[in-house]
Amino acid sequence: MADLVYQQVITDLNKRIMANEFIDKKLPDERSLSEQYHVSRSSIKRALNVLANQGLIFKKRGSGTFINPLYLKNQSSFKYEGTNLGITDSLNTEGAQPSIQLLDFQVIPASQELQQDLFLAPDEFVYEIKRLRLLDEQPFMIETGYIPIKLVPELNRQIVSGSIFSYVQKTLKAAVTKSFLSISADVSTATDQKLLTLKATEPVGVMGGIFFLDDGTPFEVSNMRLHYKYMKYTTFVSTEQ
């Protein structure tokens, strides 16, 4: 992935953990790891912190560092798939073929709320992009996105029918790596039902997000309505910091 020291340690520890090398569920102490890997203890700590934030290990002062047993026996319903922006560009498709159907594409003046969220002046314009996302022909998500035209002036129907994020990464050389995300549920509308092939009683999952570029520029406001069986957001939460 990268040539950074602490990331190499992460990668290697991950391998060793998954290979069940630490039978007693206990990792070597930080000082030993520092010697084993020939890196400073700081770098070891950094690597371990990342793993702890992912819920893969637990650290206990005075006692040691231990592997989260639930990570090994992940035949359970819990399968944490690492950080993702909640966006389907980085979706774990698991063999299914993702596709996109463009519903609508136009340029409109930014509403007041969009002005705030995308940090725009009152007279600026945004693309409004409505898309239907499918997995193996099965529609699962209606996505309405708003992107300032000034950020990507040359957007067109063809680009928008593919992955916008990867297009941006190539042309602007700026990755979309951060987002505010809000997750809720809602009654399905007639449109939802038609597009997502839902029964009247079946709901949608709603994910709203503001996506940012590396440098903090708000890039897109997105509203996603998902077939309720396809929305499953999993995460590891820690109140410590």
Partner DNA sequence: TTTTTTAAATGGACCGGTGCAATTCACGCA
Partner DNA sequence: TGCGTGAATTGCACCGGTCCATTTAAAAAA
Residues that bind DNA (CB under 7 A): 4-7, 27, 29-32, 38-43, 45-46, 48, 59-65
β-pair type (57-60, 138-148):
unpaired
30 contact, one of DNA, a second copy, none, CB 5-8 Å limit per kind: DNA
Q: Is 77 exposed, middle or buried (0-12, 13-18, 19+ CB in 10 A)?
A: exposed
Given the rule CB under 8 A, which of 15-23, 143-151, 155-163, 208-216 is the region that contacts a second copy? 208-216
Task: Decide: is 14 part of the binding site for a second copy (CB under 8 A).
Answer: no
Q: Is 182 in the site for a second copy (CB under 8 A)?
A: yes
86 touches 124 (CB < 8 A): no
Answer for which of 13, 48, 168, 181 binds a second copy (CB under 8 A) is 181
Rank residues 5 and 85 by Cβ distance to a second copy and give the closer one.
85
**CA dihedral sign of residues 17, 21, 27, 31:** negative
User: C-beta of 25: minimal distance to a second copy in Å?
Assistant: 9
Q: Site size for a second copy, by CB under 8 A?
A: 61
CB 89 within 8 A of CB 51: no
As a whole number of angstroms, the distance between CA 174 and CA 165 comes to 9
Which of 19, 23, 24, 77 is the binder for a second copy (CB under 8 A)?
77
Q: How would you class 49 by CB atoms within 10 Å of its CB: exposed for 0-12, middle for 13-18, buried for 19 or more? A: middle
What would the DSSP string read from start to end of 168-200? Answer: HHHHT---EEEEEEEEEEEPPPHHHHHHHT--T
Q: Using CA atoms, how far apart are residues 16 and 7, in angstroms rounded to an integer?
A: 14
> How far, in whole angstroms, is CA 226 from its chain's centroid?
15
Query: Is residue 105 a contact partner of residue 88, using CB atoms and an 8 Å limit?
Result: no
Least CB distance from residue 102 to a second copy, whole Å?
Answer: 26
Q: Which is nearer to a second copy, 155 or 226 (CB)?
A: 226
Nearest approach, Cβ of 28 to DNA (angstroms)? 7
Residues 42-71 that bind a second copy (CB under 8 A): 50, 53, 55, 58, 60, 63, 66, 68-70
Site string for a second copy, 117-156 (x = CB under 8 A): x-x-------------------------------------
Q: Are 124 and 150 in contact (CB under 8 A)?
A: yes
Instruction: Select the residue interacting with a second copy from 73, 157, 170, 173 (CB under 8 A).
Output: 73
Under 8 Å between Cβ of 169 and 211: no
Catalog residues that contact a second copy under the rule CB under 8 A: 50, 53, 55, 58, 60, 63, 66, 68-70, 73, 75-78, 80, 83-86, 90, 113, 116-117, 119, 177-187, 200-205, 208, 210, 212, 214-216, 218, 228, 231-241
